[in-house]
Amino acid sequence: MSTQVASPETSPLSREEEQADVIRRLEEDIIFGRFAPGSRLVEDSLMARYHASRHFVRQGLFQLERQGIVLREKNIGATVRCYSSEEVRQIYEVREMLTRQAALMIALPAPASLIEQLTELQRQYCARAEAQDLRGIHEANDAFHVALFSACGNPYLVRSLQDYMNLTLPMRAKNLADAEGLALSRRQHEYMIDLLRGRDSWAFAQLCVDHMQSSKSDYLGRIAGEKSAD
């Protein structure tokens, strides 16, 4: 009688892999809008949802609290971080200033190596979009923008931009899950690549700033709708 060897697909996860899986699934549920801003995150419900221990769920909440996605308050517990409309506007003001400055610092016409790198990242982005791979869409989108703004030559500015990209993650990721928002994002990426071949730095910088407006408007609309429903 032959002995069946477990395939990698059926092998049990290690503790580290199981913890990472809980964090990933919880983060996706939040950033893609399955848990609305302000929603309570009850440990027992999360344990059942992810088939995970209380320890792993609790550690996941701690991790996402450090990322600014989850808010933990005494006598209330954990909730999805909900930004006020004024906080959203202030956060985006800073991100827009950083984005414009980084874009203006990119020398145009951009080198062929940068165009090739961004074209390949855009191809990957479109492939994830066609596959409706939400996690892949988010990761490919961020990879495109990090590669783009790294061309400004100032790693400290790029790091600050990444910090604000992370801070706005709950505000912008859901927009990428929307067909219309995703289609607009893809078109604007293509236009960015075209502008990098030219010499109009101001038009390029303005497009980079305009690129953020759809997700900001979407989030402001969501929180306004939730308030009116209360």
The residues with which 161 forms a beta bridge, in sequence order, are none
**Amino acid found at 39:** S
Task: Please report the pLDDT score of residue 210 as a whole number.
Answer: 96
Average pLDDT for the chain? 88
User: Directed axis angle between helix 201-210 and helix 179-196, to 10°?
Assistant: 170
Among 175, 125, 177, smallest CA distance to 148 is for 125
Tell me which residues of the chain have a pLDDT lower than 50.
1-7
Q: What CA–CA distances, in Å, run from 197 to 32, 113, 118, 182, 191?
A: 34, 11, 12, 24, 10
Task: Please report the pLDDT score of residue 7 as a whole number.
Answer: 47
List, for residues 145-199, the tens digit of each pLDDT value: 999 999 999 999 999 999 998 888 878 877 777 788 889 999 999 999 999 999 9
Task: Say if residues 103 and 149 touch (Cβ distance below 8 Å).
Answer: yes
Helix (H), strand (E) counts: the chain: 11, 2
- How would you class 66 by CB atoms within 10 Å of its CB: exposed for 0-12, middle for 13-18, buried for 19 or more? exposed
Cα–Cα distance between 90 and 94 in angstroms, integer? 7
**Phi, psi of 114, deg, nearest 5:** -70, -45
Domains and CATH numbers, the chain: 15-80 (1.10.10.10), 85-229 (1.20.120.530)
Task: Say if residues 102 and 175 touch (Cβ distance below 8 Å).
Answer: no
**Amino acid found at 201:** S
Among 131, 130, 99, smallest CA distance to 209 is for 99
**What is the reported pTM?**
0.79
Q: Give the torsion sign (CA, 148, 151, 153, 155).
A: positive
Task: Please report the pLDDT score of residue 176 as a whole number.
Answer: 72
Cα–Cα distance between 120 and 150 in angstroms, integer? 16
**Phi, psi of 37, deg, nearest 5:** -55, 130
Task: Please report the pLDDT score of residue 2 as a whole number.
Answer: 39
